[in-house]
Amino acid sequence: MVACVLFWRDSRRGKREKEQLLKDLEEKNSLYKKEAMLAAKEAVQKDIEKFQEETKERRHELSKLEAKLTKKEEQLDQKEQEISGRETELQRKMDEVTDKEDYLSEVLQKQLQELERISGLSIDEAKNLLLEQLKVDLQQEANNLIRENENHIREVSNEKAQEILTTVMQRCAIDQVIESTVTSVSLPSDEMKGRIIGREGRNIRTLETLTGVDLIIDDTPEAVVLSCFDPIRREIAKLALEKLVADGRIHPVRIEEMVEKARVEIEQKIKQEGENAVMEMGIMNLNKELVKTLGRLYYRTSYGQNVLLHSLEVGHIAGMLASEIGANVKIAKRAGLLHDIGKAVDQTQEGTHIELGVELARKYGEREEIIHAIEAHHDDVTANTVEAVLVKLADAISAGRPGSRRDTLEIYIKRLQKLEEIALSYEGIKQSFAVQAGREIRVIVQPDKFDDIASTRLARDIAKRIEEELDYPGQIRVTVVREVRTTEIAK
């Protein structure tokens, strides 16, 4: 019983404790819930405050941007108004300019009409008159400019050119031999003429047949004249005839022997002259056939000038000019020596001496620079190397200096007449005179038809025509004389 009572008591106490425990747990749970709710509310409140702060800041920024946009809109509106005002002002000014242009055009038209009325000239006539005056002024300025440039060129280059050419000419002094188409052979007596003719003329016929030379036996005392265009054949005949005269035995068989000996001697002479020329010029590795052909120029003349000596002179002058200006001396001397090589064969072959010279040089392996100089020394082609220009210049110097060439009287007279004809072909020429052996042409013009500018132009035109139409050594001066004379008689 007691145990039951105790058990019951314990149960009630355990129950109470359990209830108390549950009550405590519920109170704690309620407290935890309240704390959690408070924490959540605080967190939410913080988030709300943060969001509100961020929203406030964004709204503030948006307000600033809105204020800027509003300000820009106001500025744009203001600028638009300014532009509109400027456009209005510009249009007003354009209208004013248009009105002024119309007014000025009208005034100009009235002035032109008034000028036409006063001057008696139309607009086209006035323009033509102005253009003519302008043309005259420009021509005068051009002539003055040309004269200034010519004077400048003369001052700068003439002295140096004269110095170079004078130096070269002083350093080069080669004797020139003047030949012709006839050669005279002296005889010990006139009796020798009959022996040369032979019985029924057989000796003279044999000699003429073997040599191709005409023997002229006339009344000239103690002399026989040999005539032939080929100087080599003429020299062979001369040498053979001299041998026959010295030997005294003159008959066909002996004539054949002497002609053959003379031919061999002349061939040796040709070879020797060619070798001497090459040695004198200091040229190496020249083909033997070309050396022999060069030696034939010893018996070739052109305008009374021995061609071999002329070629030597050209080679020396070209070499010295090249040395003075720093060009290739060896090429200039070699090309100068060979520039007329074609004249050695131009009497027996078809073609000009330039074409034949180029063919020979190319055949015997000369360099292109040498061939070009040969081809260009008479302007058959344009000289495109310094050495070719120097050879052409040296050739002109050698051929143009006094005494180098011999013109016939007929050619000389024709040249003088042609000079005067060229001058007289222009309108307003009073007289013309070729003076100083054709080195100068003096033209006297009518002073009322030529002024100073026209006189200068006339001199230039005449000089240009002389260059184009005449062949002449050296240079020809053109002098235009415009003289005004006034005469009054004192009574």
Domain boundaries, the chain: 182-270, 409-482
How far apart CA 477 and CA 488 sit, in angstroms, is: 35
Q: Is the pLDDT of residue 5 over 80?
A: no
Radius of gyration over every alpha carbon of the chain, rounded to an integer in angstroms = 58
Mean pLDDT throughout 338-353?
Answer: 84
Report helix, strand or coil for 454.
helix
The pLDDT score that the predictor gives to residue 439 is 78
The pLDDT score that the predictor gives to residue 183 is 76
- What percentage of the chain reaches a pLDDT higher than 70? 86
Q: Which amino acid is located at 295 in the chain?
A: G
Whole-prediction pTM: 0.49
247: nearest Cα among 266, 261, 231: 261
| DSSP letters for 375-416 | HHTTTSS---SHHHHHHHHHHHHHHHSTTS----HHHHHHHH
How far apart CA 114 and CA 30 sit, in angstroms, is: 122
Q: Which amino acid is located at 393 in the chain?
A: L
Q: Which amino acid is located at 440 in the chain?
A: E
Q: For 353-390, what is each residue's pLDDT tens digit?
A: 888 989 998 988 888 999 999 988 887 788 889 998 99
The pLDDT score that the predictor gives to residue 410 is 55
How far apart CA 83 and CA 373 sit, in angstroms, is: 78
Q: Give the model's confidence band at 472: pLDDT under 50 very low, under 70 low, under 90 confident, else very high.
A: confident
Mean pLDDT throughout 183-203?
Answer: 82
The partner residues of 183 in beta bridges, in order of sequence, read 226
What is the DSSP-derived secondary structure letter of residue 155? I
Q: Is the pLDDT of residue 345 over 80?
A: yes
The pLDDT score that the predictor gives to residue 209 is 82
- Specify whether the CB–CB gap between 342 and 300 falls below 8 A: no
- Specify whether the CB–CB gap between 331 and 309 falls below 8 A: no
Q: Is the pLDDT of residue 8 over 70?
A: no
The pLDDT score that the predictor gives to residue 9 is 66
Report the chain's mean pLDDT, rounded to a whole number.
81
Contacts of 403 by beta carbon, 8 Å cutoff, 6+ apart: 176
- Specify whether the CB–CB gap between 223 and 185 falls below 8 A: yes
Mean pLDDT throughout 161-177?
Answer: 54
The pLDDT score that the predictor gives to residue 173 is 45
The pLDDT score that the predictor gives to residue 403 is 52
The pLDDT score that the predictor gives to residue 177 is 38
Q: What's the CATH code, domain 409-482? A: 3.30.300.30
Mean pLDDT throughout 214-241?
Answer: 81
Mean pLDDT throughout 84-96?
Answer: 89
211: nearest Cα among 248, 172, 185: 185
Q: For 240-275, what is each residue's pLDDT tens digit?
A: 888 888 888 888 888 888 889 988 998 898 888 888
Q: Give the model's confidence band at 7: pLDDT under 50 very low, under 70 low, under 90 confident, else very high.
A: low
Highest mean pLDDT among 166-170, 280-284, 312-316: 312-316
How far apart CA 283 and CA 336 sit, in angstroms, is: 11
Q: Give the model's confidence band at 224: pLDDT under 50 very low, under 70 low, under 90 confident, else very high.
A: confident
Mean pLDDT is lowest, of 48-57, 182-191, 357-366, 418-427, for 182-191
The pLDDT score that the predictor gives to residue 175 is 43
Q: Which residue has the higher pLDDT, 184 or 58?
A: 58
Q: Looking at domain 182-270, what is its CATH homologous superfamily?
A: K Homology domain, type 1 (3.30.1370.10)
The pLDDT score that the predictor gives to residue 304 is 66
How far apart CA 349 and CA 319 sit, in angstroms, is: 30
Q: For 9-56, what is each residue's pLDDT tens digit?
A: 666 777 777 788 888 888 888 888 888 888 888 888 888 888 888 888
Q: Which residue has the higher pLDDT, 169 or 218?
A: 218
